[in-house]
């Protein structure tokens, strides 16, 4: 997992790991989720990858557009 830059200092995300067709995201409370091309979809996953690399607005994007649509709870 790569540390999330958290530019705002207020994100609930601490780390992420991008893959070819997915992104895993770890939240402050210790939970980790996989989002993939199947759920929530390619467009959302690719947007999440870009936001994760920038270190900003990822949690906002998830809360606003993805919500509980994840492929798998990893932890």
Say what the pTM is.
0.93
Assign 13 a pLDDT band (cuts: 50, 70, 90).
very high
C-alpha span between 58 and 62 (Å, rounded): 6
pLDDT in tens, 45-75: 999 999 999 999 999 999 999 999 999 999 9
Q: Which residues contact 10 (CB under 8 A, 6 or more apart)?
A: none
Rounded average pLDDT over 1-26: 95
pLDDT in tens, 20-46: 999 999 999 999 999 999 999 999 999
């Amino acid at each position: 997992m790569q540390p999330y830059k958290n530019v705002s200092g207020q994100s609930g995300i601490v780390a992420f790991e991008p893959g070819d067709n997915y992104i895993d995201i770890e939240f402050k409370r210790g939970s980790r989720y996989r989002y993939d091309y199947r759920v929530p979809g390619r467009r959302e996953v690719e947007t999440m990858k870009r936001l994760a690399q920038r270190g900003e607005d990822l949690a906002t994007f998830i809360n606003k557009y993805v919500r509980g649509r994840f492929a798998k709870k990893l932890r």
